[in-house]
Structure 1
Amino acid sequence: MRVLLCPDKFAGTLPAQEVAQAVAAGWRTVAAADDLLIRPLADGGPGFVAVLADALGGRRVPVPTVDPLGRPAPGEILLTPDGTAYLESAQACGLHLLAAAERDPKTTTSYGLGLLVAAALEHGARTVVIGLGGSATNDAGAGLLTALGVTPLDGTGQALPYGGAALTAVAALDGVPRLRAATLVAATDVDNPLLGLHGASNVYGPQKGADRADVLLLDAALERFAAVLEKDLPGCPAGLGALPGGGAAGGLGAAILALGGRCESGIGLVTRAIGLDAALDAADLVITGEGSFDHQSLRGKVVAGVAGAARDRGLPCVVVAGRVATGRREAATAGVTDTYSLVDHYGGEERGGLEAAMTRPAEGLRELGARLARQWSR
């Protein structure tokens, strides 16, 4: 039997590659003769660079950067022979880099991502593809712009402090972006605009530690910043605050659009890079998954893309997740044949299943892999 394993990461526990390997290890204990093809996936968030490095090769270059609070953090860029650099915002702006008590989108900055972009340009990249997702920031890329030579100023001409809240006082920009004629691409599967009820602050701010008052303050700050970008940044498109994708990663999408870049589907970019269509054409069964399979999973995430492609080919598609919070009917409509939950495997939440799923994910995935083989292998 030909089995394609193409999961996303299990956020907070395992990268996509390890998820796939654990399921495969369990499967092989039951059906060693089956042909297992591992193709881990990412949609632009954490793991984006690692997945593309496995698929494309190229050179992974370590780059020191800073986290959302300005502390030193390790980063890297992937350089490919065609002159493209791939990097991910989560390495510098990731929510996982902060303790729960440190999460405050009023003060967190995207400056570290700007350092990664600058490093890619120093290495001669002609195209810089930035995976957006999992960010702790809500500064519309103000920190990113500062690292690239464009400093937001207040009405007295002073440079603003970092963070989204400071943008309530932004009045002008100083400097020009040092992009060396490179093209920027935002890899994201979020189409939210920068501003408004469906914008970065309202939709994603609360996940990053913002209360209702913070959300209102941040949305007003980003509205002011968008107006200044349109006024002072040459080439910035009109109506920046309403453009699809601008709200990705706390408004980093808007900064990339303002710099003349474009947004592309992160999962689409990755699936092309790893040759997922050909792998699907050759498969008898597809296994995908992510940490939490819920209503958001079926709206542009990795699982939705894989399940839809499997459905179009008449292939069964099984989802393995840390937890499952999607109804069977909704999942089936998206192309999901069956779901398996680590939390349920460990006895359910009331019996400590959630803690076990978080602390022993690889062990549980191996056991689920064996169970899958017993149920699905010929």
Structure 2
Amino acid sequence: MRVLICPDKFAGTLSAPEVAAAVAAGWHEHAPADETLLRPLADGGPGFVEVLASAVDGRRLPVATVDPLGRPAAGEILLAGDASTGIAATGVTAYVESAQACGLHLLSAEERDPKRTTSYGLGLLIAAAVETGARRIVVGLGGSATNDAGAGMLAALGATPLDETGRALPYGGAALAAVASLDGVARLRDVELVAATDVDNPLTGLHGASNVYGPQKGATREDVLLLDAAIERFAAVLERDLPGCPPGLAALPGAGAAGGLGAAILALGGRCESGIALVTRLIGLDEALDRVDLVITGEGSFDHQSLRGKVVAGVAGAARDRGLPCVVLAGRISAGRRESAAAGITEAYSLVEHFGDDVERAMREPAEGLRAIATRLAGQWSR
């Protein structure tokens, strides 16, 4: 039997490649002769670079950066195209992951405060990618702890937000309530910027970055109102002071991605592209789907949001279109069975259920649980 294993990460426990490896190991315990194709996935959030590095011919370049509170952090960029020669050349694409510098996972629960977290570290990653000579930079957006509409990123690139006295603003979304102008221009050397995201939220308003994603980053209701007004003011400054910034920036689809990082990239003349579509194209998912008998996908939490444009929904839909059964493995499951079946999902299994509703053990032993579930699945499905 030929089995395609294409999961997303299990946030907080395993990366997508680790999930895929655990499932494959479990499957082969029962059916060692079966063929397993591993195609770990990401949608632009945490794990974006690691997933692409497993499929794209290129090289990974370590880059020193900072986290959302300005502390030293380790990042990297993936250079593909002519990058395999080790020499900067026309045609190089650099892949950058915003979560390496702005990720919510980099902060403890007590440290989460989008009023003061900054995207400065992402600017350092992009600047490093520019210096390699890359002509195109794809920035994976998702899982951010920031809500500064990319103000920190722009400052790192050379475009500094100022207050009415001409002083540089402190970092964080709250400081943008006093923004009056932008000093300098981003040093990008005419590279093409692409934001890889599957979020189409505008920057501001009821469906904007602050209202929808601010609370999960530590924002209170009062914080949300402050941040929404602050980044609306910043968007107006960008439209006025940044050459080439599109009009109506705050309302553009994708502008609200990753705490408004989408808006900053759009303001620099970039564009948004579906992160999952980009990844599936680069790893050859469609070709793999055409070769297999069963598809196994999954993510940490399989809920109603999973069926609305995330990795699991895209995989299940593609499997359904080919008449393939699709099994979902997850840390926990709250999506309805009827809704899941309509999306193309044949079966779904959770680690929490496997461990007898022991959430702590599911978090502590995810690889062991996935291997055990996969062994059981092989007993049910393998010929």
User: Per the shorter chain, which TM-score range?
Assistant: over 0.9
Quote how far apart the aligned CAs of 1:177 are.
1.1
- One-letter code of the match for 2:22? A
Q: Are 2:365 and 1:360 equivalent residues in the alignment?
A: yes
Equivalent-residue separation in structure 1 for 2:116 and 2:71 (angstroms): 13
Q: How does 1:180-329 map to 2 (within 5 A)?
A: 180-329=189-338
Helix, strand or coil at the partner of 1:140: coil
By how many angstroms is 1:299 displaced?
1.1
CA distance in 2, matches of 1:30, 1:173: 61
Question: Secondary structure of the equivalent of 1:320?
Answer: strand
- Any runs of at least 4 consecutive aligned residues in structure 1 with deviations exceeding 3 A, and if so which? none
Q: Distance in 2 between matches of 1:372 and 1:57?
A: 33
Give the aligned partner of residue 370 of structure 1.
375
d(CA) in 2 for partners of 1:120 and 1:373?
43
Structure 1 SS opposite 2:367? helix
Shift of 1:300: 1.0
In the TM superposition, residue 105 of structure 1 has moved relative to its aligned partner by 0.1
Aligned match of 2:39: 39
Aligned to 2:30: 30
| C-alpha distance in 1 between matches for 2:336 and 2:267 | 40
* 1-structure distance, mates of 2:21, 2:53: 17
Letter in 1 for 2:210: S
Q: Distance in 1 between matches of 2:57 and 2:74?
A: 20
Residue 155 of structure 1 pairs with residue 160 of structure 2: no
Q: What secondary structure, in the 3-state scheme, does the structure 1 residue paired with 2:328 have?
A: strand
Q: TM-score, normalised by structure 2?
A: 0.97
Provide Cα deviations, 1:219-268, integer angstroms capped at 9, x if missing partner: 00010000000010010000000000000000000000000000000000
Aligned with 2:61: secondary structure? strand
Give the whole-Å Cα distance in 2 for the aligned partners of 1:167 and 1:307: 41
CA deviation string 1:79-105 (max 9, x = no partner): 112310001000000000001100000
Q: Distance in 1 between the 2:248 and 2:202 partners?
A: 10
Shift of 1:57: 2.2
Mapped partners of 2:368, 2:349: distance in 1: 14
Write the deviation string for residues 125-148 of structure 1: whole angstroms up to 9, x where unpaired: 100000000000000000000001
Does the residue aligned with 1:8 lie in a helix, a strand or coil? Answer: coil
The 2-side partners of 1:69 and 1:275 are apart by 37
The answer as to 2:180 corresponding to 1:175 is no
Distance 1:56 1:24 in 2: 21
* Cα drift, residue 375 of structure 1: 1.1
* TM-score normalized with structure 1 length: 0.98
Give the CA RMSD over aligned residues: 0.5
The size of the alignment, in residue pairs, is 374
CA distance in 2, matches of 1:341, 1:57: 34
Equivalent-residue separation in structure 1 for 2:228 and 2:382 (angstroms): 52
* Residue identity in the other structure for 2:290: D
1:146 pairs, out of 155, 165, 170, with 155
Deviation at 1:366, TM superposition (A): 0.5
2:72 corresponding residue in structure 1 = 72
Distance, in Å, in 2 between the alignment partners of 1:238 and 1:295 is 34
Code of the residue aligned with 2:367 in structure 1: it is A
**Whole-Å separation in 2 of the counterparts to 1:57 and 1:102:** 38
What is the rounded CA distance, in whole Å, between the counterparts of 1:47 and 1:172 in structure 2? Answer: 35
Q: Secondary structure at the match of 1:85?
A: strand
Matched, 1:129 2:122: no
2:343 & 2:216 partners in 1: Cα distance? 26
For structure 1, list consecutive stretches of 5 or more residues without a partner in the other structure: none
Q: Distance in 2 between matches of 1:207 and 1:64?
A: 27
Cα distance in 2 between the residues matched to 1:223 and 1:275: 40
1:336 to 341, 345, 360: 345
Distance 1:335 1:247 in 2: 29
Provide structure 2 residue ranges, at least 5 long, that are not aligned to the other structure.
83-90
Distance 2:58 2:291 in 1: 26
Q: SS at 1:292's partner residue?
A: strand
